[in-house]
Amino acid sequence: MYPDQRQLRIPGPTPVPHQVLRASAQPMINHRGSEFKELMFSVLERLKRVFQTQNTILAITGSGTAAMEAAVANLVNPHDPVLALVGGTFGERWAKICKAYQAEVHILEYPWGEGIDPQAIADYLQRHPQIKAVFATHNESSTSVLNDLAAIGKVVREYGPLLIVDAVSSLGGADLQTDAWGIDVVCTASQKCLLSPPGLAFISLSQRAIEFIANVQTPRFYLDLQQYISMLAKGEPPFTPNIANFFALDEALRIIESEGLSAIFQRHYLMRDMIRAGIRALGLKLLVDDRWASPTITAVMPETMDVPRFIADLKQHYGVELAGGQGKLAGKIFRIGHMGYSTPLDMLTTLAAIETKLGQYGAAVAAAEQVWKRSNSQ
């Protein structure tokens, strides 16, 4: 199997278009010069269309977790009461980061594999009016659940806390209306639906969040967003940025703009539906009900299978790399990524490898093809 023909079907990093990789290989430029200033402003301004916001967007050299930690470090004082919505590994990550910064962490848990009930949030906030911030996960990639962020936003606005969202595995692949849904902070990263290599994190801040930051005394340095905001006004980053990734994202945004957000969302939902139809045709159990099913990743929970061995065999013999489970789902599920630089044809290839490994030739591909055909006739 040639390395460049491998099917990388994990929740990230995801395949990167060749023209984006070529763009990232450009010669370095002065990060405090006019060329980078123009590049940075262009990228951040165009990202606003993907975030669907007029809010300030900042870039941090780091992973998505860097943006998440920046949100906590800049918006939470020690002992502030905050609420983490936990239904998977990345909801747990919010809680862990908040605890690391000595917040008074309230946890509202919901079953792994289900979406959170917005009414449960409303009930909790009514009982705990002291909560200053709610930390939510839009797309819980450890379970493949897409939470109803519009409904969550409506509830949180009614009670008043800041709403801070991890959108690392959703932004650019699922509809996320930052302004319309009243989201104060959105965190994401370059390596998933934004068609770029890992290395840049992004965080959008409402005016209310920016004003909040000024009153937070939590010690911070590299992740001090006040530095990023003040330097942005000068057209410079506070520290040396990942210039290669800015080149990459500049090209990636051209691709995103050419396809259009509406078409991108439709493609992701089509790939999701193809994968789910194919998995069902093989008699395998899907972890998540249709109403919560993510457009960017699908979790499969086989009842009788050595899941780690299955994943290893697919990679070794068919060049298709899937992800395993995390946390309490480790060894119990495999996850199929269908985000970013992925097509319906890639889904057929992935399903062909899975069904061949299982000795059920044609069943999954035929079911997925029917979904694709129906979408083309609409």
Among 114, 119, 108, residue whose Cα is nearest residue 84: 108
CATH class (in words) of the domain with range 18-257? alpha beta
Local confidence pLDDT in tens for the 378 residues of the chain:
666 778 999 999 999 999 999 999 999 999 999 999 999 999 999 999 999 999 999 999 999 999 999 999 999 999 999 999 999 999 999 999 999 999 999 999 999 999 999 999 999 999 999 999 999 999 999 999 999 999 999 999 999 999 999 999 999 999 999 999 999 999 999 999 999 999 999 999 999 999 999 999 999 999 999 999 999 999 999 999 999 999 999 999 999 999 999 999 999 999 999 999 999 999 999 999 999 999 999 999 999 899 999 999 999 999 999 999 999 999 999 999 999 999 999 999 999 999 999 999 999 999 999 999 999 887
- For the chain, give every residue range classified as CATH 3.90.1150.10: 261-377
Q: Other CB atoms closer than 10 Å to residue 177's CB: what's the count?
A: 14
Model pLDDT, residue 1:
61
Rounded Cα–Cα distance for residues 114 and 5 (Å): 34
Rounded Cα–Cα distance for residues 338 and 345 (Å): 11
- For the chain, give every residue range classified as CATH 3.40.640.10: 18-257
Burial 12-45 (b: 16+ CB within 10 A, else e): bbbbbbeebeebbeeeeeebeeeebbebbeebbe
Collect all residues with Cβ–Cβ distance below 8 Å to 376 and sequence separation of at least 6. Answer: none
Q: Is the peptide bond before 81 cis (omega within 30 degrees of 0)?
A: no
- pTM higher than 0.85: yes
Model pLDDT, residue 2:
66
Rounded Cα–Cα distance for residues 68 and 321 (Å): 27
Q: Which backbone phi and psi does 114 adopt, to 5 degrees?
A: -130, 155
Rounded Cα–Cα distance for residues 239 and 374 (Å): 50
Rounded Cα–Cα distance for residues 368 and 250 (Å): 34
The CATH classification of domain 261-377, taken from the options 3.30.43.10, 3.40.228.10, 3.90.1150.10, 3.40.640.10: 3.90.1150.10
Model pLDDT, residue 6:
85
Model pLDDT, residue 302:
96
Model pLDDT, residue 5:
76
The burial of 273, by beta-carbon neighbours within 10 Å (0-12 exposed, 13-18 middle, 19 or more buried), is given as buried
